[in-house]
Amino acid sequence: MCGIFGFIGYGKPNFKEAVDVIEHRGPNGDGFLSYDVESQTLAQTPLERNERFKIGFGFRRLSIIDLSHSADQPFSLSEPNLHIIFNGEIYNYKELREELESLGYSFRTHSDTEVLLTSYQEWGEECVHRFNGMWAFAILDIGSRQVFCARDRFGIKPFYYYANQEQLIFGSEIKQFFTSGVAKEINNNVIKDFLENSLVDHTEETFFKNIFQLPAGHKLMVRFDEYQFSYEIERFWKLEKSDADDHLNFVQASKKFKDLLEDSIKLRRRSDVPLGSCLSGGLDSSSIVCLAANQVEGEFNTLTSMYEGSKFDESNYAKMVNQSNVRIKANFCGLTENILVEEIDQLIWFQDEPFGSFSIMAQWEVMKLAKKIDVTVLLDGQGGDELLGGYRKYYAFYLKELIRSGKYVKALTEMYYLLKNRDFNFISKEGFKRYLLSNSNASFLSERGKSLKNMKKIGLSSANSVREKSLEDIEFLSFPALLRYEDRNSMAHSIESRVPFMDYRVVQFAYSTSSAFKIRKGFTKAMLREALKGVLPEGIRTRISKLGFATPQSDWMESVLNRHFKEYFAKMNNPYLDNKYIAEEFDSYPKSDLHSWDFSRFYIFDKWYKAHFSKDL
């Protein structure tokens, strides 16, 4: 797990500064490679000002597998002149290494980096189909005169790029581009989607003009000669339904899902540094902890964010999991109102782009705790909701699917279970608005904000089935944002986060199974609940209430932080927001027409805007 930076073309890239600004991603060392294309000379130094066409690689290392210096990057194979910078992990590297050794290859390290580069040597660009892992890498193939870049199937690891006629720049974080001389301009195309519906990372565009992210499951190929380059982007993987397991009944499908998830965890436990797991007390993280704790021989650390005395506190559920296995060592932290005020600007800097609520800060605190107790690798439960219909909105899409297919009796039965379960909190003002409606032409926008266009519409009309909605969330609305939060929060503290639910085999299988295997008799994630009978504590396995990674932000806004937010909104002068209206609405909080989610979103956006464009205010 590391940070990368690359420059192709002419100009002065401030190369070392662009690598140093992401030192948090790789505190164990750096590395450089520069290639003068015209003279065909290589040097292990930062790229300097270019009068001639050159290619430069920069790297920051967080040592996870093979801690020796022999695995440092950029990593090179002198024959046939291949060089790589790589952020991520190839979890099945041991199996791939054995296959490559059977083909006659030998290895000088025990790293997955060497296995990745050798895989490219053997299979070319098709090597990506053999990887089980997370990655963003660039390979300089001097013999073929190309730079081959790729991002993993779900975009777990970031890859941003900027290109004009003179240069192509890529990196792990957006802040690197401004360090290397790219002009900082706001991208109006994504502003309205965020302010109205909290949408982020749902397009390859970012909040900064001309800086893009390589979409998940895509490759970027740069061809070059002595004086110029060209590039193209292609998709190499797409999630599609498989019919291979259509014959399985519910119990059989649940067992196969468990087998796949267990193997995913087994692969993601491969590490040469201490490993633990995030634990919220919800079904997903609890499942990972219980399965992982059964696989390990020694102590297994869990990390939980708690809010004692708050309705948002899930620590009792986490404690239930912690007490289920003697190998588990529990660790707790808490996001307080003081921490929120003191550290929000720091979090905004690390995230690069806005985020929708303060729940991101709860995860931030967990990563701080991991750093404190020296747990360098964390498993996390991201992805379970999108795969197994876990969000409240999926119930609405399931009912729509049943009605459209003429299954009216089943639809009425599921509606009965839904209404019976008050803990699920489906019919609520906040939930209904958040999951099923949009805020088109919202009153909290200024005239400038209202004049902007939406890039993505959301709502009940966006999909006709649970599978369609799952795909939309995986590709656009949920995975990309959650993975950005996960990556920046973890890497800000030099922590590697791994997400077992996002093993492509697990995702493919869950996506292909029937909606009735996911939502069943009032329960979401039915297949996971069935699979983990006897593994999860029953109080977790049969739990219906859902909080997510929530924080007591509504309580804080009403009490201890009321004055702070009131003063902030009274002074806010954001060109995209109706500042007067928002200040007046907060004065009447909690009887306001706006929810705490709205106020947190405006607060975060304005702080982000001032951090980057204060000269425009």
Locate 49 and state its tokens: 């000002």
Residue whose C-alpha is closest to residue 174's, from 164, 187, 165: 187
Do 256 and 229 reside in the same domain of the chain? no
In a domain, residue 44? The reply is: yes
* Tens digits of residue pLDDT in 171-212: 999 999 999 889 999 999 999 999 999 999 999 999 999 999
Q: Is the domain of 357 the same as that of 464?
A: yes
Q: What is the CB-side half-sphere exposure of residue 307 using CA atoms within 13 A?
A: 20
How many separate domains does the chain show?
Answer: 3
Q: How far apart are the first and last CA of the chain?
A: 38
pLDDT at 306: 87
pLDDT, tens digit (0-9, with 9 covering 90-100), for 246-263: 999 999 999 999 999 999
The one-character DSSP state at 211 is: -
Same domain, 207 and 229: yes
Task: Compute the distance between CA of residue 317 and CA of residue 289 in angstroms, rounded to an integer.
Answer: 13
Tell me what the mean pLDDT of segment 220-226 comes to: 95
Domain region containing 568: 553-616
- Pick from 455, 460, 469, 465: which is nearest to 436 by CA? 460
What pLDDT does residue 459 have? 81
Across 606-616, average pLDDT = 89
Backbone angles phi, psi at 427, to 5 degrees: -90, 85
3-state class (DSSP) for residue 507: helix
Torsion angles phi and psi, residue 332, rounded to 5: -125, 150
Q: Are residues 231 and 259 in the same domain?
A: no
Three-class SS string for 332-361? Answer: EECCCHHHHHHHHHHHHHHHCCCCCCCHHH
Q: What is residue 153's predicted lDDT score, i.e. its pLDDT?
A: 98
Side-chain half-sphere CA neighbours of 439 within 13 A = 23
Segment 335-362, tens digit of pLDDT:
899 999 999 999 999 999 999 999 999 9
Tens-digit pLDDT profile for residues 95-130: 999 999 999 999 999 999 999 999 999 999 999 999
Residue that finishes a domain, picked among 235, 261, 283: 235
CATH of the domain at 473: 3.40.50.620
Please write the tens of the pLDDT for every residue from 162-172: 999 999 999 99
CA of residue 73 relative to chain centroid, distance: 24
| Percentage with pLDDT > 70 across the chain | 95
In a domain, 494, yes or no: yes
Residue pair 491/237 in contact by the 8 Å Cβ criterion: no
Whether the predicted pLDDT of 132 surpasses 70 = yes
Q: Are residues 138 and 273 in the same domain?
A: no
pLDDT, average across residues 523-542: 95
CA–CA separation, 36 and 165 (whole Å): 18
Distances from the Cα of 329 to the Cα of 147, 373, 449, angstroms: 45, 11, 49
Mean pLDDT of 571-580: 97
Domain presence at residue 219: yes
Classify residue 603: in a domain, yes or no. Answer: yes
| Cβ atoms of residues 50 and 11 within 8 Å | yes
Q: Given this model, what pLDDT does residue 312 score?
A: 74
446 found inside a domain:
no
What is the pLDDT at residue 221?
A: 98
Check: CB of residue 299 under 8 Å from CB of residue 322: no
| Antiparallel, parallel or unpaired: β 146-151 and 41-43 | unpaired
- The answer to whether residue 448 is domain-embedded is no
Q: Which of 591, 581, 580 is nearest to 557 (CA)?
A: 591
pLDDT in tens, 328-339: 999 999 889 999
- Domain boundary residue, one of 235, 263, 278: 235
On the question of pLDDT at 239 being above 60, the answer is yes
CATH of the domain at 91: 3.60.20.10
Q: What is the dihedral of CA 57, 60, 63, 65, to 10 degrees?
A: -30
* Contact (CB, 8 A) for 275 and 332: no
Shared-domain flag, residues 202 and 268: no
Q: Is residue 431 part of a domain?
A: no
Amino acid identity for residue 564 in this structure: H
Nearest by Cα to 295 from 88, 529, 500, 62: 500
The confidence score (pLDDT) of residue 60 equals 98
CB atoms near residue 269 (< 10 Å):
18
Domain presence at residue 190: yes
In this model, does residue 615 exceed pLDDT 60?
yes
Domain-ending residue, one of 182, 212, 235: 235
Q: Are 328 and 371 in a shared domain?
A: yes
Give Cα separations from 493 to 57, 340, 353, 428, 536 (angstroms). Answer: 24, 17, 18, 37, 30
| Of 208-222, 367-381, 425-439, the least confident | 425-439
Can you spell out the DSSP letters for 435-498?
Answer: HH---TT-TTB-HHHHHSPPS---SGGG-SSHHHHHHHIIIIISHHHHHHHHHHHHHHTT-EEE
pLDDT 10s digits, 66-89? 999 999 999 999 888 999 999 999
Contact between 435 and 400 (Cβ < 8 Å): no
Contact 354, 207 (CB under 8 A): yes
Q: Which residue has the tokens 């194979």?
A: 77
Phi, then psi, of 113 in degrees rounded to 5:
-60, -45
Q: How far does Cα 491 stand from its chain's mean position?
A: 12
Sheet with 41-43: strands ordered across: 41-43, 30-36, 50-61, 2-11, 167-171, 160-163, 212-213
Q: Are residues 141 and 271 in the same domain?
A: no
Q: What digits encode the pLDDT tens for the residues 279-321?
A: 999 999 999 999 999 999 899 999 999 887 677 778 899 999 9
Sole residue written with tokens 């009887």:
591
Amino acid symbol at 11? G
CA 374 remoteness from chain centre = 22
Report the percentage of the chain scoring pLDDT > 90. 83
> How are strands ordered across the β-sheet holding 377-379?
328-333, 300-305, 275-278, 377-379, 496-498
Which long-range contacts (C-beta less than 8 Å, at least 24 apart) are formed by 288-291?
Answer: 288/379, 288/380, 288/381, 288/500, 288/501, 289/321, 289/328, 289/379, 290/321, 290/324, 290/325, 290/532, 290/535, 290/536, 291/261, 291/262, 291/265, 291/532, 291/535
pLDDT of residue 79: 84
CA 373 to chain centre: 23
Q: What is the mean pLDDT of the chain?
A: 93
Residue 13 in this model has a pLDDT that exceeds 90: no
pLDDT for 487-496, tens place per residue?
999 999 999 9
Please indicate, yes or no, whether the overall pTM of this predicted structure exceeds 0.85.
yes
pLDDT at site 460:
85
- Token pair of 349 as six digits: 């800097």
For residues 202 and 259, state if they share a domain. Answer: no
CB-CB contact of 272 with 64 (8 Å): yes
Are 268 and 208 contained in the same domain?
no
Same domain for 467 and 607? no
Q: Which of 60, 114, 69 is nearest to 87 (CA)?
A: 60
Confidence of residue 26 (pLDDT cuts 50, 70, 90): very high
> Cα torsion at 414, 416, 420, 425 (round to 10°)?
60
Give me the pLDDT at residue 437, please. 53
Do 561 and 341 touch, CB atoms closer than 8 A? yes
169 SS3 class = strand
pLDDT at 551: 76
Q: Using the predicted structure, report yes or no on whether residue 214 has a pLDDT greater than 90.
A: yes
- Upper half-sphere CA count for residue 132 (Cβ side, 13 Å): 24
The predicted pLDDT at position 347 comes to 97
Residue 547 clears pLDDT 70, i.e. is over it: no
Q: Per-residue pLDDT tens for 413-434? A: 988 887 777 666 555 555 555 5
Q: Return phi, psi of residue 602, to 5°.
A: -65, -40
141 and 198 share a domain?
A: yes
Q: Which tens digits make up the pLDDT trace of 548-558?
A: 546 788 889 99
pLDDT at 191: 97
